[in-house]
Each structure stands twice: as structure tokens, then as C-alpha cells.
Amino acid sequence: MSPSRLYALSVLALAVCVTAPLARAGDLRITLPRRSKLTPVQRLNREGVEAVQKRHYDKAEALFYKAYLFDPSDPFTLNNLGYISELQGQLDRAQNFYKLAAENSARLVTAIVARLGKLMQNRLSANVIYTRKDDSYVTLEKRAELANVAQANLFVSIHANYSDYPSARGVETYFTNTYSSIKARAEEDRSEPSLQNVNWTDIDIRKKVRESRRLASSIQHSLYETLAAKNPGLPNRGVKEAQYVVLTGTSMPAVLAEISFVSSPTDENNLQSSSYRQRIAEALFQGIAHYEAESNRLAMASAPTKQVR
């Protein structure tokens, strides 16, 4: 039996940045879960949204705060409180609420990563390392270093997407065609001055790019096919290139998967479902497993054959 391969899984927390001033009352950037039977928190959020639409902002704020008292960690409520604070010109408070909403959404992604890790351990007999297993912050450079030091075979970063437009939906997967020094970058912004750098002269960059593209394509295909089956109209946003630190700073094939838009009421509602999170984990696993199977097939096909005399 061949030795187990090592995989690095990373949770890339949702980043929500509010740049002042954003107050655009006509642009209703608030999330509202859609279910046939609403929970008390969802009902209060729905009533709050209706109040905002009628420009009854004080009433909306009171309703959102009632929802907050029911569940202080609900990302819908936190996002809506951020929005109403923004409308009132209280940008610092809005930023705090948006940040809390992002952190709680990140916990949903962390749960998906944990499920994916178990699938890989159980079905691929893989060794899995996590750049983090909770919502504590780890710099992007440090996450890349963790994978490099461990000499992981693959690096997969899972991310929840965000847009100012609630209509934005879909899944997409990124890879990079370049590389960078995480140590130089960290020293430049003084975030992680003690990072170990990668000796890129020992890395076949062309192979890394080629394998990253193959891995991204496999994961994207699996994600879209699995989720679109029960999500009519879900866009396939495709495979894209980007120069994210976790992609450019890792020495092994690396991808970043955008699994949903938490700014979409539909996607956010889906993410609240344990079965939906399991479906995402299964889709990610199938994409990785297909990539591994294809890699083994290509390796066997290119291996020299012994001549029989």
C-alpha cells in the first residue's frame, strides 16, 4: 500500500469591508431567509425587512434587535442590524455588525471543512492538516507556510463569497499561474516576520500551475453538478485565475473554492441546512477524489514499461 498523501485544508473567512459612506437606501442589501415555516428569528427579520421597505427604520431596528435577543449569533440578524446602522449613518457600528455576521458565516464554512476532512480521512485514507479549525484568525501568509512546512500534496481553501448585490449566486473555483514570497510579503506589512520562505528553485512552477488548474476544474465540475441538481438557476461561475496569497505562496497544487454567496438570501438559507452543508462537503470530496484518480491514471500511463525478453 502506498503511503498516505497529505492534504492541507484552509478556511478562508468571509471578508466584509464597509467603506464609508455606503448608505444607499434604494439598494436593499439585507438578507432574508426563505422558508415555508419561519422561526421566530426569521419572522422578526422578515417583518424588519418589510419595515425597511416602507422606510420605517426605527421600527425595523426594533424588530432586528428582538431577533438579536432570540439568537445573538444569527448572521441574518447581524447583517440586517449592520444595514440599518449604515442607513442611520452609524458606520462604525455597522462595521461591527457586518464583522460579526462574517464571523458567524465563517463558522458554517468551518463546519463544511470539518466534514470534508472526515470524508478524505475515511474514504481516501488521507492525512489532513487544517490551517485552522475554528474562527480564530490566522494570517494568509501563515496558512501558506503551514502547508509548505508540512509538505502537503494539495492545498484546498474553502471560502464563502459575498457581494453587495443579493442576486449574486453561484460557485466558482480559483487557481493561480504565478508564485510569490510569503516571507517578503509578511515582512513588508510586518504581519509574520518569522515565516519560512519557499525555495522556488526546487519547485516545478509549470507543473504546479498545470495541476492546480486540473484540480480546480475537477472541484468546480463536482460542486456545480452536485449543487445545481437541487438549485434551479444556480450559476456556474467557472474556473478563474487569481493571485490570492494562499495560492501564490504555496509550493503544491492549490485552489480556492467559493462554495456559496452568503449575501444571497437563497444561498444563506441553504447554508443553514446541515444536509446542504454535507452536500457541499461531498461535492468537494468527489472533486478531489476524481482529481486523484485521474492523477494515478496519468502516472501509470506515463510510467516506463518493462520489456519482456
**Domains recognised in the chain with CATH numbers:** 6-14+108-302 (3.40.630.40), 40-100 (1.25.40.10)
Q: Which residues of 85-117 are buried (b: 16+ CB within 10 A; e: fewer)?
A: bbbeeebeebbbbbbbbbbbbbebbbbbbbbbb
The least confident of 18-32, 144-158, 194-208, 259-273 is 18-32
Span 214-225, mean pLDDT? Answer: 97
Which of 11-25, 127-141, 197-211 shows the lowest per-residue confidence on average (mean pLDDT)? 11-25
Sign for the pseudo-dihedral over CA of 204, 210, 212, 218: negative
Reported as a pLDDT band with limits 50, 70 and 90, residue 6 is confident
- Per-residue pLDDT reduced to its tens digit, 227-240: 999 888 899 999 99
CA angle 85, 160, 83 (to 5 degrees): 10
Which tens digits make up the pLDDT trace of 146-160? Answer: 888 888 899 999 988
Residues 32 and 44: their CA atoms lie apart, in Å, by 10
- CA–CA dist 107, 253 (Å, integer): 26
Residue 2 has a pLDDT of 46
- State pTM to two decimals: 0.72
pLDDT, residue 24, reads: 32
User: What angle (nearest 5°) sits at the alpha carbon of residue 287, between those of residues 149 and 103?
Assistant: 65
User: Across residues 87-91, what is the average pLDDT?
Assistant: 86
SS3 category, 230: coil
Compute the average pLDDT of residues 190-198: 59
Per-residue pLDDT reduced to its tens digit, 15-65:
222 222 223 333 444 444 444 456 788 788 888 888 888 889 899 999 999
Mean pLDDT within 189-200: 60
- pLDDT of 278 higher than 90: yes
